[in-house]
Amino acid sequence: MPGLKVRDLHTYYGTSHILFDVSLEIEDRSTVCLLGRNGAGKTTTLKSIMGLATPRSGAILLDDLEIGGKSPVDIARLGVGYVPEERIIFPDLTVRENLEVGEKTAPSYVVERWSVDAIYGLFPMLEALDGRVGAYLSGGEQQMLSIGRTLMGNPSLLLLDEPVEGLAPAVVSALSTQINRLKKMGLTILFSEQNLAFSEAIADRVFIIESGRIKYEGTFADLNADAGLKHRYLAVG
Ligand SMILES: Nc1ncnc2c1ncn2[C@@H]1O[C@H](COP(=O)(O)OP(=O)(O)O)[C@@H](O)[C@H]1O
Ligand SMILES: [Mg+2]
């Protein structure tokens, strides 16, 4: 089964050793959550996959192709889309222009399924804001735009770093529905999160990271049955 395989990653920032033996396996078309408290190593893991942090050792296989050591641009061309936790959008460009910036020449084997209209179909709230500049969007609207812009690159694997952090409950609920739609469309999704409730609504499997090490891999049912585990490694429960 293709998908994403991360094996024994060790990542450093300078001399600080941050990730230890991180291994993840994400089946093609599945949705997996990387859960962990602040500072656990979630962002560093996603950045390592995207080529934004350079692992010192380990392997990253996308559909059995080694992508470890490639540049972020090359990794994006191979079909990986990354939505950083900072939700970077262009404040002076309109919603539509922000989406158009995300459109890039996709390799010929990638189905170009996303257009501005398709993004508006997924996020109707953005259509109503078509001509508004990025600076005047709410946090939730910025997050939808940030995801929309990444989708415009037609990724097959989507990496979302804490997609609902700091957002109002109504927006969290909308995003959970929208991410579930992406999942049904056949995208493979890896997202990071601190809390269980949102993750459980969309992910098939969960990995828990703490102090740069994977402490748990499994289903939510097994995790929920283990109060000690939740208490040790998560912000809730
Ligand atoms: N650029 C950096 N330089 C040095 N240490 C960093 C840097 N970024 C993050 N760290 C450290 O790496 C650890 C993991 O951080 P991070 O991956 O951002 O965690 P999370 O996303 O789970 O909150 C933390 O101890 C953090 O302080
Ligand atoms: Mg983070």
Express each pLDDT in 124-145 by its tens digit: 999 999 999 999 999 999 999 9
- Write the residue with the smallest CA distance to atom 17 of ligand 1: 41
**CATH code of domain 3-233:** 3.40.50.300
Instruction: Give the atom of ligand 1 at the shortest distance from the alpha carbon of 37.
Output: 22
Helix, strand, coil percentages for the chain (3-state, nearest 5): 35, 30, 35
Per the prediction, the chain carries an average pLDDT of 93
Residue whose C-alpha is closest to residue 46's, from 24, 17, 28: 24
What secondary structure, in 3-state letters, does 157-214 show? EEEECCCCCCCCHHHHHHHHHHHHHHHHCCCEEEEEECCHHHHHHHCCEEEEEECCEE
CB atoms within 10 A of CB 19: 25
Residue among 35, 43, 209, 211 to mutate when testing ligand 1 (max atoms within 8 A of CB): 43
Specify the range with the lowest mean pLDDT, choosing from 31-35, 153-157, 188-192. 153-157
pLDDT in tens, 148-186: 999 999 999 999 999 999 999 999 999 999 999 999 999
Q: Does pLDDT of 111 surpass 80?
A: no
* pLDDT of residue 237 exceeding 60: no
Q: What is the pLDDT of residue 234?
A: 83
Q: Which residue is closest in CA terms to ligand 1's atom 5?
A: 13
Distance CA 105, CA 107 (A): 6
Residue 183 beta carbon below 6 angstroms from any ligand 1 atom: no
Would you state the pLDDT for residue 35?
96
Say how far apart CA 86 and CA 145 lie, in whole Å: 12
pTM: 0.95
- Please report the pLDDT score of residue 113 as a whole number: 81
In which residue are the tokens 């969960």 written? Answer: 206
pLDDT in tens, 43-88: 999 999 999 999 999 999 999 899 999 999 999 999 999 999 998 8
Domain boundaries, the chain: 3-233
